[in-house]
Chain A
Amino acid sequence: MNTTRTELLLPRRMTTTAVLDALSSRLSLDEGTGTQRDRRYYDTFDGLLRAAGVAFVHESGRLALVSIDDGVERAGLPAPEPPERVFAAELEPGPLRDALLPIIEVRALLPLMHIHSAQRGFGVLDADAKTVVRLALDAPEVVASPNRRLALAPRIRIEAVRGYGKALTRVRKTLIDDLGLTAADRSVLDEAVIATGATPGGVSSKVDIALARDQRSDVAVASVLRPLAAIMESNLPGTIADIDSEFLHDYRVAVRRSRAVMRELKGVFPAEQLAHFRVELRWLQQVTGPSRDLDVYVLDFDELRSGLPEPSRSDLEPLLRVLRDRRTIAHREMVRALRSDRAGGLRSQWPAFLNELVTMAPEGRPAAARPIGELAGERITKVYRRMVKTGRAIDDSSPPEALHELRKQGKELRYLLELFGLPLHPGEVVKPFVRALKSLQDTLGAHQDREVQIATLRSLRDEVSTLRGGAGALMAMGVLIEHLGGDERAARAEFAQRFASFASRSQRALVRETFSS
């Protein structure tokens, strides 16, 4: 195995000096100049880069995206100082931006770890004093704060020199077989994260809970809602600080999923508390809504604008200004609400309630002790049937509200399927079902988004018209409204076909078989 780069760890109780002594007696080593390295690693809050097998690092005036397994740089850019935060879309066009954008999309890269290390470099020489393998002895430490450093295990890195495969094999053999070094199974970055007490991979906004069909429903529901509450909590600081748009998005998805669980599985909750928390979570959803809508507007602006002919695109600048201003105001109002006593109370009461749920008196909670497999199956079947009924009633003359209603039911079904369907039923049935639902929802979503966009554009006309360049912007907005109307009609035309496959005879039979038992 001759990979270009391997990192090895020393056996217990072996010092770096001992390794070097042992190596010098077996190989001809030439020590180069030592270096001090300062690597500052970045990742998104939810660890998208690590999940993609890459790391983003600032070192010696350069930002680079490197592969975790072999350390090879995929793309880079000069950057004299380590940045505070990086958005792919804001990097100058080039390979680094192209490599990052598909991985992190709109997420911000935030400082994750600062690793300082003293490194000694060695060349393994052949008979002509030619370097045939490079070795680097690295003593890394995490710079946790200006005066707190955590030492990590020293590492020896073997780097191949092209065309000297045999020498590489020999050096690896010496280090591993003779001296007992072992390949590091974790990257130095992961080691650093663990040393600070955190978990590598960031904070996920996914719920992945194992459930059993015969589990009590209140136990199952609580075990699904608790991680959702934790997701809300972990995304709150980033939402308030406006780090990137996904904090708020993930926060709202967690709220919406929690509400869907409460609505669909009412029978496991005591009525009074249920009513209270439903009101409170709906309130959270409402106070965060305008900010999210405007986030989407600003994020989609370029795409929206690309619907215009090239020369009129700049005409829309006044609209973007209005949207940004509104977004700032909406964000401020949202932050006020999220910092209010009402929200603060909810932050502590809601998780406390979830912890107590299973020990609460069974009276007034008729479904609490029922097996979750049965209860969730019932609800999934019920919501599906309701959707089939609603969808069938939709024809060309139906108002947009009918499609909107169907979409809301679809969200409910999707959350039930993701939170309970997948952990309790065979993936090969549930996954295609979720896909069919998703494709229907995309069409319904496109329809509704266009509808909302048109309404928003109309509502902004007065404000835009008062700005400099307002007249041009109004004309461009008129063209946009026309385009959006076209998209809306296209989505509507697509609906019938998507719905037909979602509500097909075979799909209905499959739902009956899977969830009714």
Chain B
Amino acid sequence: MSRVLATYNIKGGVGKTSAAVNLAYLAARGGAKTLLWDLDPQGASTYLFRVRPKVRGGVRKLVHRKSAVEKLIKGTDHERLDLLPADFSYRHMDLALDAAKHSNDRLALVLEPLRAEYEYIFLDCPPSISLVSENVFEAADTLLVPIIPATLSSRTFEQLEELVRGGPQVLAFFSMVEVRKSLHREVMAKLRAAHVTMLGAAIPSADEVERMGVDRTVVAEIAPGGRAALAYEALWWDVRRRLGAPAGAAPGAPPGAPPAAPPGAPPAHPPAG
């Protein structure tokens, strides 16, 4: 049975897609069959994997389970990593969900036939509070929440915890961190002290993350061993640890795959507290 992880934040432009794409890549590289569902009508992760943003039958057929979801999946350039692409019709997903019975757990139902096949299913969610996010909270076991360490981020985090109370596990991590900014360092220290669900790993604001859109691939291929690549590895290790997965390499790790252990000291990880 798969683990469903959703990268989610009410706000946009905080590194959700980047996290979903890079973490899903690392999960697959570690040996796990992994699916990423690009729920965002803008189709950023679909674009990064060079797949056409097209779902035959559109969102209506999909959420009403009139399309065989297995047939809509596309293999990516990476072994064991598949994509359920975005489609422009996803912008009407709220309406489609609203028109369906059990409108809160439609997405969970769509995923049902895939849960035996994939060890991890990542949901890359559009920023909003809507029926789509309600569905995501229903379908996901864990929400991965990227947070930019700025003044209002603590408030964002608390709002979110309030929103999903009793729902999925929430794991937040810092994103687009600029360690040279003292404000970032202060906010991070404060939030880490206040929230146990705040992960230790943090993703730096780095060129290679921005280059993803140009090179259309994951940071591990753009700058292997670079700051961002190492930070995502540390984050994935941290997430797995919180999920209760063994911290070593997953069974089935291909030869040469690095163990899922955290690299020495993630560069964007200032001392907490």
Contacts and interface: CB of A to CB of B under 8 A. Distances in A.
Nearest to B70: A162
Interface string B45-57: 0000111100000
Nearest to B254: A60
Nearest to A32: B77
B87 to A, nearest CB: 14
A161 B50 CA distance: 13
A208 to B, nearest CB: 40
A417 B75 CA distance: 56
Contact of A162 (B82, B251, B252, B253): B82
Interface in A131-151: 131
Nearest to A37: B255
A162 B82 CA distance: 8
A472 interface: no
B73 interface: yes
A301 interface: no
A164 B75 contact: yes
Given A163-B75, A164-B74, A77 B50 contact: no
Residue of A76, A130, A163 with most partner-chain B CB within 10 A: A163
Interface in B228-257: 251-255
Contacts of A126: 50
A74 interface: no
Given A129-B50, A130-B50, A76 B252 contact: yes
B73 A60 contact: no
A60 B255 contact: yes
Contact of A61 (B50, B73, B216, B255): B255
Contacts of B72: 163
Given A60-B254, A60-B255, A129-B50, A163 B77 contact: no
Nearest to B249: A78
A77 B82 CA distance: 23
Nearest to B79: A134
Contacts of B252: 62, 76
Interface residues of B, number: 17
Given A128-B50, A129-B50, A130-B51, A163 B74 contact: yes
Nearest to B252: A76
A60 B255 CA distance: 6
A77 B31 CA distance: 12
A78 B50 CA distance: 33
Interface of B is mostly: loop
B50 A162 contact: no
Interface in B89-145: none
A123 interface: yes
Nearest to B248: A78
Contact of B77 (A78, A131, A160): A131
Given A60-B255, A62-B252, A78-B251, A163 B50 contact: no
Contact of A77 (B52, B251, B253): B251
A123 B77 contact: yes
A164 B73 CA distance: 10
A163 B253 CA distance: 24
A123 B76 CA distance: 11
Contacts of B73: 162-163
Contacts of B50: 126, 128-130
Interface string A296-324: 00000000000000000000000000000
A130 B216 CA distance: 10
B7 to A, nearest CB: 23
A130 B251 contact: no
Interface in A153-174: 160-164
Contacts of B71: 163
Nearest to A128: B50
A130 B51 CA distance: 7
Nearest to B253: A78
A211 to B, nearest CB: 51
B77 A130 contact: yes
B254 A162 contact: no
Contacts of A123: 77
B62 to A, nearest CB: 15
Contacts of A62: 252
Contacts of B216: 128-129
B181 to A, nearest CB: 37
A491 to B, nearest CB: 43
A131 B77 CA distance: 6
Contacts of B254: 60
A126 B253 CA distance: 29
A162 B77 contact: no
Interface in B18-70: 49-52
A93 to B, nearest CB: 14
Contacts of A163: 71-75, 82
A37 to B, nearest CB: 10
A163 B35 CA distance: 13
A130 B75 CA distance: 10
Residue of B52, B77, B251, B252 with most partner-chain A CB within 10 A: B77
Nearest to A131: B77
Contacts of B255: 60-61
Given A130-B49, A130-B50, A161 B75 contact: yes
A160 to B, nearest CB: 8
A78 to B, nearest CB: 6
A10 B140 CA distance: 49
A381 B71 CA distance: 62
A405 B251 CA distance: 55
A346 B77 CA distance: 64
Nearest to A165: B71
A162 B117 CA distance: 13
A142 B252 CA distance: 26
A517 to B, nearest CB: 58
Contacts of A161: 74-75
A325 B49 CA distance: 63
Interface of A: 60-62, 76-78, 123, 126, 128-131, 160-164
22 contacts: A60-B254, A60-B255, A61-B255, A62-B252, A126-B50, A128-B50, A128-B52, A129-B50, A129-B216, A130-B49, A130-B50, A130-B51, A130-B77, A161-B74, A161-B75, A162-B74, A162-B75, A162-B82, A163-B72, A163-B73, A163-B75, A164-B75
Given A130-B49, A130-B50, 6 more contacts: A76-B251, A128-B50, A128-B52, A129-B216, A161-B74, A163-B73
9 shortest A-B CB distances, which residue pairs? A130-B50, A163-B74, A60-B255, A162-B75, A161-B75, A131-B77, A128-B50, A162-B73, A163-B73
